[in-house]
Amino acid sequence: MKTLLTILICSWVFIPNNNSITEAYSLTVNIENLKNTKGTLIFSLYNSEGSLPDEKFERYYKKKSVKIDDKNIKATFNDLPKGNYAVTVLHDENNNGKIDKKFMLPLPKEGIGFSNYDDFGLSNRPNFKDASFDLQKDKTITVKVIYK
């Protein structure tokens, strides 16, 4: 009886509970046809409503900077729980870490892209609802970098 009790206690302590295992996924973001190879690409990943637009990079979930050595670049975010995400990409040609604006206009000087957007402007500003997608397994997306 004592041996059985010891076996039960040990198995309870040392066998992991399946409920505590969290599934994690990866998201790879492809960028194609950059205008040039100057600077870096800043990839920002968002996971909550109201986080976009985020012109000062204050509300992102995860962020990566990748030095540009080719006009086609990819970045991968790992260990993501399932859920809704949106991605922004800034072609930071001058490496200052911010979105530079055109003189007297609210449009960016450098290239910028958003998941699920082929274009944007004053009448269709990006938001989380329209830019988001569901991540339920490892996924690869392509984001178009737009130069205005």
Residue pLDDT, tens place only, 23-43: 999 999 999 999 999 999 999
18 pLDDT more than 70: no
- If one compares 91 and 14, the residue with the highest pLDDT of the two is 91
State pTM to two decimals.
Answer: 0.84
Q: Residue 82: CA atoms inside 13 Å, Cβ hemisphere, count?
A: 5
Cβ 144 vs Cβ 89: under 8 Å: no
Cβ 112 vs Cβ 146: under 8 Å: yes
- For residue 131, give the H/E element and its range: helix 128-131
Residue ranges of the domains in the chain?
22-142
> Rounded to an integer, what distance in angstroms lies between the CA atom of residue 35 and that of residue 41?
12
C-beta atoms surrounding 33 within 10 Å: 8
Mean pLDDT of 47-56: 94
- Beta-carbon contacts of 49 under 8 Å, excluding residues fewer than 6 positions away, are 128, 129
CATH no., domain 22-142: 2.60.40
Average pLDDT value over all residues in the chain: 89
Mean pLDDT of 117-137: 93
Render the burial of 111-147: b for 16+ CB within 10 Å, e for the rest.
bbbbbebeebeeeeebebeebbeebeeeeeeebbbbe
Q: Return the pLDDT at 5.
A: 52
What end-to-end distance do the CA atoms of the chain give, in Å? 77
Segment 54-67, tens digit of pLDDT: 999 999 999 999 99
Q: Return the pLDDT at 15.
A: 55
Segment 59-117, tens digit of pLDDT: 999 999 999 999 999 999 999 999 999 999 999 999 999 999 887 777 899 999 999 99
- If one compares 3 and 47, the residue with the highest pLDDT of the two is 47
Q: Return the pLDDT at 103.
A: 79
